Structure 1
Amino acid sequence: MATIFSKIISGEIPCHKIAETEDFLAFLDVFPCAKGHTLVIPKKEVDYIFDLEDDLYLGLMAFAKSLAPAIKAAVPCKRIGVAVIGLEVPHAHVHLIPLNSMADMDFSDKIKISQEELSEIATSIQKEL
């Protein structure tokens, strides 16, 4: 059964896309820990990040790294945090989260954000790429 991320990749479910390559997609989390919280995923559906083939795993991390400076430039923060939890969606993914404090990485404390604001943030990050 296709995951929600696979449905986003296919265009079945819309997203606030940040960047895309042949193998990877980055988009804003609609239930973010902080403004600018970005999900980075491989297009290949693999449940567990450490089950990715080495090339795909390294490519995913390099793609995530390439996005961090743009997120930091678009969303005022001290740095971009990286998290891999792997329990929420059975599709390997990396969280890039703008941090000003450790509390910004609290996955049990999501912020509410409008679709309009998500669109504005996505556009701001894209302009920095």
Structure 2
Amino acid sequence: MATVFSRIIAGEIPSYKVAENEDYYAFLDINPLTKGHTLVVPKKEVDYIFDLDNSTLAGMMVFAKQVAAKIKREIDCARVAVVVLGLEIPHAHIHLIPIKSEKDVDFHREKLKLSPEEFEIIAAKLSE
């Protein structure tokens, strides 16, 4: 059975797309820690990020770097944190989180509640 991320990539589940190419897909996390919190996934369905072949992993990091540059340009933040947890969904993924302090990367704190309109505005800014 396809993962939630594979179903998002296939368009079966809606997402707020930020960027896409033939190998990778980036979209807003629907339970964000900060505005602009983005997930980057390979289109190839592999559970653990370090099980990706070297070429796919390297390409994913370069793609994430491009997305992070857009986030840094469009979202008020000091840096864009890169977090790999990988336990929530069995599909390799990277969290790109705009941060002003290390506290912004605390996954135990309450997530932001954004309206669909807010998500659409952020996605539009990041996809330009």
Q: Which runs of 4+ in 1 moved over 4 A?
A: none
| Deviation (angstroms), 1:11 | 0.4
Q: Which consecutive unaligned segments of at least 5 residues does structure 1 have? A: none
> 2 CA distance for matches of 1:122 and 1:14?
13
Instruction: Tell me the residue number matched to 1:119.
Output: 120
CA deviation profile, 1:30-87 (whole Å, cap 9, x unmatched): 0001100000000010000000000000000010011111101111000100000000
Q: TM-score, normalised by structure 1?
A: 0.96
Moved more, 43-52 or 111-120: 111-120
Paired-residue identity, %: 57
RMSD: 0.7
For structure 2, the 5+ residue unaligned runs are none
Give distance in 1, aligned partners of 2:87 and 2:116: 25
- Find the aligned partners of 2:72 and 2:19 in 1 and give their Cα distance: 15
Number of residue pairs the alignment of both structures matches: 127
1:54-93 matches, within 5 Å, as: 54-93=54-93
Deviation of residue 124 (structure 1)?
0.9
